[in-house]
Amino acid sequence: MFEMLFKCPAARKRHREGPLVHARQQFLEDCERRGYSRTMLGKIAWVLLSLAPAFDSKPGGLTNLDIDLAVDHRKKFHPSGTRSIERSSSQQLFRRFAVAWTRSMGWFEDVTEKRWYDEYLDDFENHMLSARGLSPVTIVTCRERLAWLFDGLPLHRRSLRDLSITDIDEFISKRHDMGWTRRSLGALAGSLRCFFRYAENQGWCQTGLTAGIEGPRLYQREGIPEGPLWKDVRRLLESTRGDRPVDIRDHAILLLLALYGFRRGEVAQLRLEDLDWEGEAICVLRPKQRCIQRYPLLPVVGDAILRYLQEARPRTTHRQLFMALHSPIRPLSAASVSAVAASRLTAIGVNLRPHGAHCLRHACASHLLASGFSLKQIGDHLGHRAANSTLSYTKVDLKGLRQVADIDLGRLL
């Protein structure tokens, strides 16, 4: 590894004879398999060499404090012919790889102080995952909202037993004053009710809290799903018809979002084995329905994905379909998929709220409705659990409304 990274004999000798040489070399090989570039591997090698003396004197049981001390007092090298690693890398870079390296050896112990409510949230998280089968995004969001509530409590109320409905009402009111919409406040109240219903069953808190949690009044299907016009979707897809790897990848992602109406998490979770090339089909995991749904692989989508696999996808051992194109090579997250859609829409001058991947799902539904498909067909295509979820799109059937407007209603009198 060191022979590949360093041309200078003195540098190679220093790395070979430094402390923890086998551990450093193994970590560098792991980084290489994860897709780090040769330049970055060279930087990591100097980081490890500068930190190795501190870790060699205390193998195992390293804490965040030990990492910080090692980074602050690291040995500084000035390899001939190269810039000093001290000048070219930040302290954050040192700490990041110090933690990753020591954790890979099993030496790092994360002793972050537990908050008083973490055990409750851990138990509730397991309940949401195992008993209710909720998606990871839903679980993380719910846990985050509960942490906001508990962190804002006065010191003398840092216990579920001491929590009152007044504390919960004040928490929701503060979110309202911060500009949260009624729909967001309704979702917040729903998360709180879900937790405190479970907490009451476990005997963690006072009884009756759940019944007292009230959110704002929401009217069924009051909001109109907002998505770009289909002509804008066509412009969006045309804007990614380039030869750059990022254009090739983004074009395939946007086709899946716009033509199939996939959610951002469903695109991020696609794996290579989900593509049935012989059967001309694509399979997607529907977390809300808890099933795998099979779709015909449209030729335009299949061609776009095939081109991405042949020309743009980095070589990696990961099985996820869509990957980051720069080191470290890693699968795209759901947030990254949404960021692709948002940035591409902004680039063509389409500004919507929300403007991520989900607005393309709305555009897909509206386009299908305008094309004459039934609500049942649209709901099945989008993977809706309930038929009511599709009814919102009837409010944007402007073509149908115009046909009604053309009728001479006076003859009906």
pLDDT at 305: 97
Specify the CATH number of the domain 138-212. 1.10.150
Domain boundaries, the chain: 2-104, 138-212, 230-358
| DSSP collapsed to 3 states, the chain | CHHHHCCCHHHHHHHHHCCCHHHHHHHHHHHHHCCCCHHHHHHHHHHHHHHHHHHHCCCCCECHHHHHHHHHCCCCCCCCCCCCHHHHCCHHHHHHHHHHHHHHCCCECCCCCCCCCHHHHHHHHHHHHHCCCCCHHHHHHHHHHHHHHHHCCCHHHCCHHHCCHHHHHHHHHHHHHCCCCHHHHHHHHHHHHHHHHHHHHHCCCCCCHHHHCCCCCCCCCCCCCCCCCHHHHHHHHHCCCCCCHHHHHHHHHHHHHHHCCCCHHHHHCCEHHHEECCCCEEEEEECCCCEEEEEECCHHHHHHHHHHHHHCCCCCCCCECCECCCCCCCECCHHHHHHHHHHHHHHCCCCCCCCCHHHHHHHHHHHHHHCCCCHHHHHHHHCCCCHHHHHHHHHHCHHHHHHHHCCCHHHHC
pLDDT at 405: 46
Q: Is the pTM of this model over 0.75?
A: no
CA distance 280 to 302: 8
As beta bridge partners, residue 145 has none
Question: What's the CATH number of domain 230-358, 2.60.120.1440, 3.40.50.620, 1.10.443.10, 1.20.120.450?
Answer: 1.10.443.10
pLDDT at 34: 75
Nearest to 394 by CA among 183, 219, 224, 220: 224
81 to each of 10, 13, 77, 84, 267, how far by Cα in Å?
A: 11, 15, 12, 9, 46
Q: Known catalytic residue: 358?
A: yes
pLDDT at 354: 65
Q: Known catalytic residue: 288?
A: yes
- The single residue of 249, 358, 367, 381 carrying the catalytic annotation is 358
pLDDT at 401: 45
- The single residue of 361, 362, 367, 381 carrying the catalytic annotation is 361
Within its chain, how far is the Cα of 168 from the centroid? 29
pLDDT, averaged in runs of 10, over the chain (413 residues): 86 90 91 79 89 80 80 62 44 83 83 80 90 77 90 80 90 89 88 94 91 79 68 94 94 94 90 94 79 89 96 92 87 89 91 80 84 78 64 54 48 45
- The single residue of 288, 307, 318, 330 carrying the catalytic annotation is 288
- The single residue of 24, 74, 145, 384 carrying the catalytic annotation is 384
- The single residue of 120, 260, 308, 393 carrying the catalytic annotation is 393
- The single residue of 143, 263, 355, 367 carrying the catalytic annotation is 263
